[in-house]
């Protein structure tokens, strides 16, 4: 398969759905709706929602049923970026090559835009207008998976340990792994698990997809750590070298750049091995795992 074409097509599909589901800028309150749409449409690659659709396809499901939840996942991811960029957290000026949300709309509106996106995500995943064809217990399992992986046992928990570890000189590998598997890996895992559930997966299929998500999620963040060192500000869309400057707990910082690259490759291999029970229907998941590790931005 041609991954570039696949990603372009699925990204356009997600963008069109997000434009449909999100409040319009012309609706009151204008400022928060403008801020929500500003960050949603600031050039994201839509990796998480595309993974959800790909996982649904891999287990033989109808990907159209997964579109609302896929958009919800992008809303949650974007809210986390808006808050992550705030002065109280990472204090970043740029995201995806554009001024961060609080630089454009101010801190108060940025906080509320993030809050609104998080809330809108769960409104969308529970809206019978868009999810009426989904089996109720399966949809409930999807919402529970997403909520668990977004909260203090998932992404938020990883962000907390990440902030508390900044500048510490004695961070061990176990702490870094906790940060990565929660702050970034949790939403990637939730994306593929939710997609598989919406596609009707259970048993061996669901276990394989879950393991894929865990390995791919960790590979994604290790690759991000490497890009922060080797990429330019133009390539990665934010200040290059910011992790090292802030004393972030990263794989290269703890185990060295070469070993971090080996670990990213190992996680990619593990993700691919998890998909052995699937045929060509899982090729998008396989190619995305390779892209995660080999990408340049």
- Give the mean pLDDT per block of 10 residues along the chain (297 residues): 94 97 96 98 94 97 95 98 94 91 98 98 92 83 96 95 86 91 94 96 94 95 88 56 66 90 94 96 96 76
pLDDT of residue 239: 54
Q: Residue 188: name the closest of 291, 43, 297, 259 by CA.
A: 291
The angle at the Cα of 220, spanning 119 to 46, to the nearest 5 degrees, equals: 45
Class of domain 3-294: mainly alpha
pLDDT of residue 132: 73
pLDDT of residue 250: 87
CA distance 52 to 195: 4
Q: Measuring CA to CA, how many Å separate 161 from each of 91, 176, 178, 239?
A: 17, 9, 8, 22
β-sheet bridge partners, residue 94 = 99
Q: Residue 295: name the closest of 219, 184, 212, 239 by CA.
A: 219
pLDDT of residue 231: 67
Contacts of 230 (CB under 8 A, 6+ apart): none
pLDDT of residue 228: 84
The angle at the Cα of 126, spanning 122 to 127, to the nearest 5 degrees, equals: 110
CA distance 112 to 36: 9
Phi then psi for residue 98, to 5 deg, are -115, 155
Contacts of 215 (CB under 8 A, 6+ apart): 267, 268, 270, 271, 274, 289
Number of C-beta neighbours around residue 90 at 10 A:
22
Q: What is the dihedral of CA 211, 214, 216, 217, to 10 degrees?
A: 160
Q: Measuring CA to CA, how many Å separate 75 from each of 45, 162, 177?
A: 13, 22, 25
pLDDT of residue 235: 53
């Amino acid at each position: 398969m041609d991954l570039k074409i696949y990603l372009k097509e699925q990204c356009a599909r997600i963008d069109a759905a997000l434009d449909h589901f999100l409040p319009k800028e012309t609706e009151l309150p204008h400022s928060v709706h403008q801020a929500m749409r500003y960050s949603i449409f600031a050039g994201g690659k839509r990796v998480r929602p595309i993974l959800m659709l790909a996982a649904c396809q891999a287990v033989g499901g109808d990907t159209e049923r997964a579109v609302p939840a896929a958009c919800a996942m992008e809303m949650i991811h974007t809210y986390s970026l808006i808050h992550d960029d705030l002065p109280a957290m990472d204090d970043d000026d740029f995201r995806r090559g554009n001024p961060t949300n609080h630089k454009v709309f101010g801190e108060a509106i940025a906080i509320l835009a993030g809050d609104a996106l998080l809330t809108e995500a769960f409104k969308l995943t529970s809206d019978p207008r868009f999810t009426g064809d989904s089996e109720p217990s399966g949809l409930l399992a999807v919402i529970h998976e997403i909520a668990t992986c977004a909260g203090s046992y998932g992404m938020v928990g990883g962000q907390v340990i990440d902030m508390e570890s900044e500048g510490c000189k004695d961070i061990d590998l176990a702490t870094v792994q906790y940060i990565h598997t929660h702050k970034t890996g949790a939403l990637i895992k939730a994306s593929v698990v939710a997609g598989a559930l919406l596609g009707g997966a259970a048993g061996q299929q669901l276990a394989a997809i879950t393991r894929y998500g865990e390995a791919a999620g960790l590979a994604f963040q290790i690759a991000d750590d490497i890009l922060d060192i080797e990429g330019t500000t133009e390539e990665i869309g934010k200040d290059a070298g910011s992790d090292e400057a802030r004393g972030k707990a990263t794989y290269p910082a703890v185990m060295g750049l070469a070993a971090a690259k080996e670990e990213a490759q190992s996680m990619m291999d593990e993700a691919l091995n998890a998909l052995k029970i699937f045929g060509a229907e899982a090729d998008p998941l396989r190619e995305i795992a390779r892209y995660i590790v080999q990408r340049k931005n």
